[in-house]
């Protein structure tokens, strides 16, 4: 009764939160048809005609869509009206290129240029150009009348989906979007979030089977031809999500969280600048952990100072006066970076990772410190080092940082040394916390637990032992919090424990008053603290 | 066609305050406004080798002007002076909606 894909689950990245259960519909770009070229004059006329029709179609879509979508489409119209771009294509047609070939070559060159950009925002624009390219080619091939036949409430599965295609689909009955590639910062993701259409991207390869599917935009999963049990669990997640959202949203908007009369500060963790677009991010007290490893995954090698500065500065501008804690490169361990981390370590979790690696590769580290020193003058920046074991490491990092600031200032560049803190994730650091001359501490509970419990956190066989509520882990958290309280220094926790409702009572009882969580769990955490404060259970 | 203002080049400099730099929305606004003038208008990021046609949205985007960079504008033609002043205003005011 079920095909080979029955029950298979695929994991991707969340682009828009929500749940959808419906027929699975595959959409391909559909520009593979054949076309016979005419004379030079016919080709030029065909291209002019296709551009005019495309302009009209896009204008029509923009009028229906309105708002943000209209502005996205305006960019496509502007490209069609760009004489420099269009004239070069007509010149190629005049020299004998068929209309579709000339058009494709010109647009592909533009797309390649956007794809090579370091900036995620620019990269995401390439799908707008691909959309425009395919629209004109479809018209040239005589397919102008075709529109997508999508049943209402369907889960649309495509390699990537251009914004205009998204707008052509009737989403009034719900549905969802599952993309094999795509990006959470694309225009289509912005549209999906604005309309609360669940969307998961970067699902990778998915077999061309499956009649129905479950799309979980919260967990970032797609399940094909689900079993009754999968559907039951899915509906349970959907229902609990709905309930939590409804009551949490009201609490989220309250200015502060408090527990037994004490103010609890709630910050957000971000993996990349795009995470700040989450609708709930604005309610945070600041950024408690900005990871910077995303900068290391560019194809072109380690990021230059300007690229990094732009990313840090974007976070500073978003935060305005609120604090922004940026963690320096935390590569190594389970996060290898070719060309940066060491290869062939027998035990990378106990190897040259985090600050250890940065101190071993000062040429890469100094570039990051320069960008951070420049960003520090733009607002309330705090910088922390990961994987610190001894006070000497912190001082070595501080000295490098101070030298960088001095050199920048000598060159007349606005720069300053930000507040410096450390991650507390090595048990030695937690036990000897008073030996560090840090301005603040942030407990990385994931690594702290794995080192204290001697459990590789990526090893599923150890899951029952990997208990963050083990008294030994809580003891180290409590010691660190106590040191902060006595010394008047901020101590926060930015690991998964902070967003786990079962762990929150223990963390508050350990003395923690600052937590940093993903924006998507901020509402739930605030709600849990509120319940605990009013003496209620976890619900 | 020849006008006494022809041949005279007007220039201006303005800092790009837009949060994400010269991206799609500001680029569309800039080129739309530039097209309202007869003048030949060129822009570049201060110090760049090449001047870019201010009426080409593809080229303005390819310029990759970042937040905080300085944009140089030059124009020649009958309404060049007004063109430079108008574009400088648009960029300095962070591309307000009513300007389009």
Largest CA distance in chain B: 41
Is residue A187 part of the annotated active site? The answer reads: yes
Nearest-angstrom CA–CA distance, A130 and A128? 5
Top-confidence residue, A248 or A151: A151
Residue B99: pLDDT band with limits 50, 70, 90 = very low
Nearest-angstrom CA–CA distance, A416 and A257? 32
**Per-residue pLDDT for A145 more than 90?**
no
Nearest-angstrom CA–CA distance, A241 and A224? 21
Nearest-angstrom CA–CA distance, B77 and B3? 8
Least confident of A34-48, A379-393, A464-478, A501-515: A34-48
**What is the least distance, in Å, from the CA of A86 to any CA of chain B?**
10
Q: What is the pLDDT of residue A107?
A: 93
Smallest CA-to-CA distance from A514 within A329, A319, A286 is with A286
Smallest CA-to-CA distance from B51 within B16, B19, B24, B11 is with B11
Q: What is the pLDDT of residues A165-211, one digit of tens each?
A: 787 788 888 899 999 988 776 778 877 876 779 999 989 888 777 78
Contact A205, A222 (CB under 8 A): no
Q: With contacts defined as CB-CB under 8 Å, which chain B residues touch A313?
A: 67-68
Q: What is the pLDDT of residues A427-457, one digit of tens each?
A: 999 999 999 999 999 999 989 999 999 998 7
Q: What is the 3-state secondary structure (H, E, C) of A4-30?
A: CCCCCEEECEEEECCEEEEEEEEECCC
Interface pTM, i.e. ipTM: 0.87
Q: What is the pLDDT of residue A70?
A: 78
Q: What is the pLDDT of residue A539?
A: 41
Closest chain B residue to A69, measured at CA: B25
The percent helix, strand, coil of chain B (3-state, each to 5) is 35, 20, 45
Nearest-angstrom CA–CA distance, A56 and A66? 15
Give Rg (Cα) of chain A.
Answer: 26
A to B CB pairs, distance under 8 Å: 61
Write down the catalytic residue from B6, B9, B15, B23: B23
- Please indicate whether, in this complex, the C-beta atoms of A113 and B62 are within 8 angstroms of each other: yes
Q: For helices A67-80 and A120-140, give the axis angle rounded to 10 degrees.
A: 70
pLDDT, mean of residues A217-238: 92
Q: What is the pLDDT of residues A357-366, one digit of tens each?
A: 999 999 999 9
Please, what is the Cα angle at A456 between A347 and A364, to 5 degrees? 50
Closest chain B residue to A84, measured at CA: B56
Nearest-angstrom CA–CA distance, B76 and B12? 12
User: What are the angstrom distances between the C-alpha of A334 and each of A204, A446, A459?
Assistant: 21, 12, 11
Which B-chain residues 48-87 have CB contacts (< 8 A) with chain A?
Answer: 53, 55-59, 61-62, 64, 66-68
Nearest-angstrom CA–CA distance, A148 and A27? 8
**Cα dihedral A14→A19→A24→A26 (10° resolution):** -30
Residues 6+ apart with CB under 8 A from A276: A270, A314, A315, A318, A519
**What is the least distance, in Å, from the CA of A82 to any CA of chain B?**
5
- Beta strand residue intervals within chain B, DSSP E: 9-15, 40-45, 52-53, 70-76
Q: With contacts defined as CB-CB under 8 Å, which chain A residues touch B19?
A: 314, 317
Least confident of A239-253, A301-315, A478-492: A239-253
Closest chain A residue to B22, measured at CA: A122
Residues 6+ apart with CB under 8 A from B79: B5, B37, B38, B39
Residues 6+ apart with CB under 8 A from A338: none
Q: What is the pLDDT of residue A184?
A: 74
Q: What is the pLDDT of residue A440?
A: 98
Assign A438 to helix, strand or coil: coil
Please, what is the Cα angle at A79 between A76 and A85, to 5 degrees? 155
Q: What is the pLDDT of residue B94?
A: 85
- The dihedral through the CA atoms of B75, B78, B81, B83 has a sign that is negative
Q: With contacts defined as CB-CB under 8 Å, which chain B residues touch A75?
A: 24-25, 27-28, 57
Q: With contacts defined as CB-CB under 8 Å, which chain B residues touch A310?
A: 21, 66-67
Start-end of H helices in A328-470: 355-360, 362-376, 391-410, 427-431, 445-453
**Per-residue pLDDT for A32 more than 70?**
no
pLDDT, mean of residues A131-145: 80
Residue A533: pLDDT band with limits 50, 70, 90 = confident
Nearest-angstrom CA–CA distance, A290 and A479? 25
Facing A79 at nearest CB: one of B19, B32, B58: B58
Assign B71 to helix, strand or coil: strand
DSSP readout, A181-234?
S--TTSHHHHHHHHTT--EEE------S--SEEEEETTTTEEEES--HHHHHHH
Query: Parallel, antiparallel, or unpaired: how do β-strands A212-216 and A221-224 relate?
Result: antiparallel
Arithmetic mean of pLDDT over chain A: 87
Q: Could you give phi then psi for residue A500, rounded to 5 degrees?
A: -100, 110
Q: What is the pLDDT of residues A462-515, one digit of tens each?
A: 878 889 999 999 999 999 999 999 999 999 999 889 988 889 999 999 999 999
Beta bridge pairs of residue A259 = A262
Instruction: Give the residue from B17, B21, B22, B28 with the most A CB atoms within 10 Å of its CB, the best one to mutate.
Output: B28
Which uninterrupted H or E stretch holds A508?
A: helix A504-509
Q: Which two tokens stand for residue A2?
A: 């079920």
Q: pTM value?
A: 0.55
Write down the catalytic residue from A21, A187, A241, A278: A187
Please, what is the Cα angle at A63 between A59 and A68, to 5 degrees? 100
């Amino acid at each position: 009764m079920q095909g080979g894909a029955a029950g298979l689950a695929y994991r991707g990245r969340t682009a828009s939160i929500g749940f959808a259960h419906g027929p699975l519909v595959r959409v391909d770009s559909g520009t593979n048809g054949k076309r016979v070229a005419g004379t030079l004059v016919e080709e030029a006329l065909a291209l002019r005609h296709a551009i005019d029709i495309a302009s009209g179609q896009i204008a029509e879509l923009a009028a229906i869509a309105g708002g943000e979508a209209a502005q996205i489409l305006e960019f496509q119209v502007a490209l069609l009206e760009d004489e420099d771009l269009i004239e070069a294509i007509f010149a190629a047609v005049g020299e004998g290129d068929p209309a579709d070939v000339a058009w494709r070559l010109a647009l592909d060159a533009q797309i390649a240029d956007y794809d090579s950009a370091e900036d995620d925002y620019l990269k995401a624009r390439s799908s707008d150009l691909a959309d425009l390219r395919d629209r004109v080619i479809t018209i040239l091939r005589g397919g102008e009348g075709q529109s997508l036949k999508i049943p209402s409430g369907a889960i649309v599965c495509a390699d990537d989906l251009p914004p205009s295609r998204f707008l052509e689909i009737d989403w009034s009955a719900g549905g969802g979007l599952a993309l094999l590639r795509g990006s959470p910062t694309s225009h289509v993701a912005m549209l999906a979030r604005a309309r609360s259409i669940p969307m998961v991207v970067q699902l990778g390869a998915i077999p061309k089977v499956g009649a129905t599917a479950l799309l979980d935009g919260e967990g970032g999963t797609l399940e094909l031809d689900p079993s009754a049990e999968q559907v039951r669990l899915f509906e349970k997640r959907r229902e609990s999500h709905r309930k939590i959202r409804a009551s949490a949203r009201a609490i989220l908007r309250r200015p502060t969280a408090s527990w037994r009369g004490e103010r609890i500060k709630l910050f957000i963790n971000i993996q990349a600048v795009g995470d700040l677009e989450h609708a709930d991010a604005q309610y945070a007290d600041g950024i408690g952990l900005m990871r910077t490893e995303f900068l290391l995954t560019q194809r072109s090698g380690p990021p230059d100072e300007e690229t990094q500065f732009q990313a840090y500065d974007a976070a500073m501008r978003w935060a305005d006066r609120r604090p922004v804690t940026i963690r320096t490169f935390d590569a190594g361990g389970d996060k290898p970076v070719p060309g940066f981390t060491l290869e062939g370590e027998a035990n990378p979790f106990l190897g040259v990772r985090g600050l250890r690696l940065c101190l071993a590769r000062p040429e890469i580290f100094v570039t990051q410190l320069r960008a951070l020193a420049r960003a520090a003058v733009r607002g309330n920046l705090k910088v922390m080092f990961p994987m610190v074991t001894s006070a000497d490491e912190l001082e070595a990092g501080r000295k490098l940082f101070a030298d960088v600031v001095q050199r920048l200032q000598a060159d007349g560049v606005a720069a300053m040394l930000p507040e410096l803190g450390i991650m507390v994730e090595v048990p030695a650091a937690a036990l000897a916390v008073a030996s560090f001359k840090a301005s603040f501490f942030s407990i990385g509970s994931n690594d702290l637990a794995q080192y204290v419990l001697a459990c590789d956190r990526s090893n599923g066989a150890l899951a029952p032992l990997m208990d963050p509520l083990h008294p030994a882990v809580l003891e180290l958290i409590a010691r660190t919090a106590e040191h902060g309280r006595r010394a008047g220094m901020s101590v926060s926790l930015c690991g998964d424990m902070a967003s786990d409702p079962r762990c929150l009572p223990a963390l508050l009882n350990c003395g923690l008053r600052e937590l940093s969580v993903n924006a998507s769990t901020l509402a739930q955490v605030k709600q849990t603290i509120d319940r605990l404060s009013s003496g209620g259970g976890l619900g | 066609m020849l006008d006494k203002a022809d041949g005279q080049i007007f220039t201006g400099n303005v800092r790009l305050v837009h949060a994400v730099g010269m991206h799609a929305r500001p680029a569309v606004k800039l080129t739309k406004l530039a097209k309202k003038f007869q003048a030949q208008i060129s822009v570049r990021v201060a110090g760049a080798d090449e001047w870019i046609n201010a009426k080409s949205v593809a080229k303005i985007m390819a310029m990759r002007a970042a937040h905080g960079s300085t944009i140089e504008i030059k124009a020649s033609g009958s309404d060049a002076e007004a063109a430079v002043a108008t574009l400088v205003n648009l960029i300095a005011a962070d591309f307000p909606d009513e300007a389009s």
